[in-house]
Amino acid sequence: MACLLFVKSIAILFFLSYTYAQQCEQPLNVTRFDCYPENDSTIDKCLARKCCWRSSIQQTNSTDFHDLDVPHCYYPTDFPTYEVISSDTTDFGQRIRIHKTQTTYMPHDIFNLTVDLIYETEQRFRIRIYDSIYIRYEVPLQVPVVEKKADTTDYNVEVKSKPFSILVTRKSTDMILFDSSVSPLIFADQFIKISTRLSSPFLYGLGEHRQPLLINITNSWKRLTFYTRDFPPLENFNLYGVHPFHINLERTPNNQTSAHGQFFLNSNAMDIDLQPLPALTYTTIGGIIDLYIFTGPTVQNVIEQYWDIIGKPMMPPYWSLGFHLGRYGYNNIANLLETIQRMHDADFPYDVQWTDIDTMSYYLDFTYDDKNFNGLPELVRGLQSDGKQYVNVIDAGISSTQPAGSYFPYDDGIKRGIFIRQFNSSEPISGQAAPGITVFPDFTNPNTVEWWTNIAATFHEKIPFDGICINMNEPSNFVDGSYVGCTTNFLDNPPYVPHVLGNSLSSKSLCPSAQHYLSQHYNLHSMYGYFEAQVTNAALKSIRKKRPFVLSRSTFAGSGRFAAHWTGDNRSTFKDMYFSIPAILSFNMFGITHVGADICGFGFDTTEELCIRWMQLGSFYPFMRNYNEFKQKDQDPASFSWEAQQIMKQALIIRYSLIPFWYTLHYEAAIESKTIIQPLFSEYLNDGNTYGIDQQFLVGRAILVSPNLISETETVHAYIPADVWYEFQSGARIGTVGQFTDLNAPLSKINVHVRGGFIIPMQTPGANLILGRGNPFILLVAQSQAGDAKGNLFWDDGDSIDSIETKTYNYLEFILTTSNTLTINALVTNYKYSPMRLDLVKILGVNKSVTNVTVNGKPYSDYLYNFLDQVLLIHGLNMDMLAQSSQTIQWTITN
């Protein structure tokens, strides 16, 4: 019998090789595109799709790849696909009709498609492919509508008629930006697949996934799944957010590098497959193909062009840049008070106190436990009188089992009809969360805005919170789908399920068939957190009449317009600390610039060494919060040894002294689309050494941070780009640049360097940001090789919703020229309610002795020159920087 099976197998292989020899010829493994992405591929299933099969007994063409990486089932060269039947010139570019005559392997093939090629701007090109007859779901994201073709473009577009494909290249270099000819286009009702060749294996973005910054596809296939999911950050899983945006580098033969990007505007569950051709494949189960191509050519240009589509990040309230402290599990007000007092006694600066759902009454949103947390309203008002803020956590699920008339959020929500409904029913879909059986607000329903605002306002009258953390909003559900299960229809059982954790779209969430106001949950699942953030942002503006602070766990493209983000339920390990850096760098690309990770780790007990290192690193997160899990030991800075406290305090002092710089960076992000944290390759695009670096990062363009991420070590193997760099603490210039070097990194030190050519505004720290607002300013001037430098400072009341629109702010520009003249230009001076006095100027790189200093042309004697470190300190200035439109400080050096 075994012999007969063997003969039969050989016969099948012979038949296959004879029948498909011409169509299935593939000279390289890397050119195989997966025709059977499901996990149960077999030769029979593959052939049923009219695809090619590479038997496991065949040898691969290269030893660089693991055999299982190479798709066994792949498309033949003559796989049925579309061809062009008409093409017309339009005001926006081209409208093409494409058609195919043969079905493929997914049900409900769409045979007639329309392709719009939209030449939106000189640097932005859009491809829309959709059903020519029936209207399909499209992402309800407000994006620019372009009706007129750009006069000039940085790109060329070519369309091949049979089979249909699109090629987009950069005009100046002919480098490929998009090329769909590598694999057939498939467009069925619940299965859409399009591939493109990549310009290089240097690929970044594609979140939210826990992965290194540089997505390695040099020697392997990789699959990333996009579908929001409540799951702690671990590799190889779909996590809290969806951001199908990437940046790809292009290297020309003369080693000049450009960058371009792509954004796939689609909110349905999807896989993105990557392979070492290099190539990328989008596979989604709904909507349309709506693809943007951004030509850069710099990394910053690509990000600016992307943010033009999704919106710029919001300007956060000033106080939110300070140190946040909280935990799940204070359990009672005595423990909370003890922590606050401990931090006060240890003289730690901090701004925001948090509590979690343990302060609620029976875990009910917008309540507090007046037994275990008796006196919480008074505690919050006391914090606020001391210049601190208070933020609480609100989960997505609303309890539905309280006695009628006893829980207003549910009763009023039912009355208004604002909960997500079961399929073909007026009844809310029920799941489970912390309070038990719950229903879920539909934040796409316009009526939800008033309901959410009213219940938040009522709670604010009891406890005057300053911000809200919206949690469990993937949405998270402790049961799969609902208490009564899901339907057997096509939404709950699609023909293809992307590789989501749990292997089901309803796994630990809602049934895809559940009905929102705008569409089915099938389409809107990954946007739940986006719409909740939008509504919460509006509610806080209405309630507090101030700039809102919303922190959201689940995010979608554009969420940065409404909310900040933290990277979820990480763990207290050095590995988790490292992964926080690529996550924060990626979210800055995604337009969510106010982002951080739970410092010292959320899960597991931390150690003193880890918490010290993480507090040092966290001092350079845009959003800085120390937060941990229920039943874990305390990890607030004041809970550690005296020696550890002093090290952590020094890290916080650095953070607080740099707040004017941080605040200005947030302004530039909101107005000029500049990232706050960025990778080294963004600034040094032609330096290939920087492409894979994600254990260091830049704050703005001026500060290089090189943390120690390895336990029980006292050196950091860091890369110092070829530029002028100074040590932040001493001000001394470093000599080893353009190479990797070992930096001294004892437990008491985090390596921070300042880049020449930049002026950094700083301030003498206070106990918190509100109390320290009137403290004197400091200018850190880092001279370039030529001896010049520039900087700026944005300053307003820190809380007004419209201070930028009404120009109720101050904006100063600092310019150092090669004549040793520092000019302070007050360009906008419309906010004069807070003193802006300059006390100290620290100039780095003064390589000759200083003989005299003048301030506004008058001799000035209060200065010190450190010849060893080549630092000039001009102190005791007491200069009102708003007194004149232009003021100068000048020094003379020996010849």
pLDDT in tens, 244-289: 999 999 998 888 999 999 999 999 999 999 999 999 999 999 999 9
Distance CA 171, CA 453 (A): 51
Predicted local distance difference test score (pLDDT) of residue 496: 98
Predicted local distance difference test score (pLDDT) of residue 61: 44
8 Å CB contact between 188 and 110: yes
Residue 220 binned pLDDT confidence (cut-offs 50, 70, 90): confident
CA 693 from chain centre, in angstroms, equals: 18
8 Å CB contact between 681 and 690: yes
Closest by alpha carbon to 826, among 814, 837, 812, 839? Answer: 812
Phi and psi torsions of 2, nearest 5°: -60, -40
Over residues 668-691, the mean pLDDT reads: 98
CA angle, residues 356, 549, 633, in degrees to nearest 5: 30
Question: Prior bond to 163 cis, omega within 30?
Answer: yes
Which H, E and C letters describe 649-692, residue by residue? HHHHHHHHHCHHHHHHHHHHHHHHCCCCEECHHHHCCCCHHHCC
Over residues 852-870, the mean pLDDT reads: 97
Predicted local distance difference test score (pLDDT) of residue 5: 32
| pLDDT tens column, 99-129 | 999 999 999 999 999 999 999 999 999 999 9
Closest by alpha carbon to 587, among 202, 141, 205, 203? Answer: 205
Flag whether pLDDT at 6 surpasses 70: no
| Structural domains of the chain sorted by starting position, each given as residue range(s) with its CATH number in brackets | 2-74 (4.10.110.10), 84-310 (2.60.40.1760), 320-397+443-477+525-659 (3.20.20.80), 666-893 (2.60.40.1180)
What six digits make up the tokens of 481? 């789908």
Predicted local distance difference test score (pLDDT) of residue 26: 64
Predicted local distance difference test score (pLDDT) of residue 51: 96
CA angle, residues 47, 49, 51, in degrees to nearest 5: 60
Residue 835 binned pLDDT confidence (cut-offs 50, 70, 90): confident
Over residues 350-367, the mean pLDDT reads: 98
Predicted local distance difference test score (pLDDT) of residue 63: 40
Of the ranges 51-55, 146-150, 289-293, 702-706, which one carries the lowest mean pLDDT score?
51-55
Interacting residues of 3 by C-beta distance below 8 A, sequence separation 6+: none
Closest by alpha carbon to 267, among 141, 178, 441, 114? Answer: 141
Flag whether pLDDT at 526 surpasses 50: yes
Predicted local distance difference test score (pLDDT) of residue 19: 40
Residues paired with residue 242 on neighbouring β-strands, in sequence order: 556
Q: What is the rounded (10 degree) CA torsion for 680, 681, 683, 686?
A: 140
| pLDDT tens column, 157-194 | 999 999 999 999 999 999 999 999 999 999 999 999 99
Over residues 505-517, the mean pLDDT reads: 98
Per-residue b or e along 731-749, where b marks 16 or more CB atoms closer than 10 Å to that residue's CB: bebeeeeeeebebebebeb
| pLDDT tens column, 410-453 | 999 999 999 999 999 999 999 999 999 999 999 999 999 999 99
Predicted local distance difference test score (pLDDT) of residue 663: 98
Interacting residues of 154 by C-beta distance below 8 A, sequence separation 6+: 122, 123, 170, 171, 172, 295, 297
Distance CA 522, CA 516 (A): 10
Of the ranges 88-97, 249-258, 747-756, 803-812, which one carries the lowest mean pLDDT score?
249-258
8 Å CB contact between 248 and 280: no
Flag whether pLDDT at 60 surpasses 50: no
Residue type, 828: V
Closest by alpha carbon to 629, among 595, 606, 610? Answer: 606
Predicted local distance difference test score (pLDDT) of residue 55: 67
| pLDDT tens column, 401-416 | 999 999 999 999 999 9
Q: Average per-residue pLDDT in the chain?
A: 95
Over residues 67-91, the mean pLDDT reads: 90
Residue 27 binned pLDDT confidence (cut-offs 50, 70, 90): low
Flag whether pLDDT at 548 surpasses 60: yes
Flag whether pLDDT at 16 surpasses 80: no
Predicted local distance difference test score (pLDDT) of residue 379: 98
Over residues 507-520, the mean pLDDT reads: 98
Predicted local distance difference test score (pLDDT) of residue 21: 40
For 4-66, the DSSP string reads: HHHHHHHHHHHHHHHHSTTTT--S-GGG--BS--STT--HHHHHHTT-EE--TTSPPS-TTS-
Predicted local distance difference test score (pLDDT) of residue 98: 98
Predicted local distance difference test score (pLDDT) of residue 300: 98
Residues composing the chain: 895
| pLDDT tens column, 377-396 | 999 999 999 999 999 999 99
Please report, in angstroms and rounded to a whole number, the separation of the first and last CA atoms in the chain: 98
pLDDT over 90 percentage in the chain = 93
Interacting residues of 332 by C-beta distance below 8 A, sequence separation 6+: 372, 373
Closest by alpha carbon to 681, among 258, 243, 173? Answer: 258
Flag whether pLDDT at 64 surpasses 70: no
Closest by alpha carbon to 616, among 682, 704, 508, 708? Answer: 708
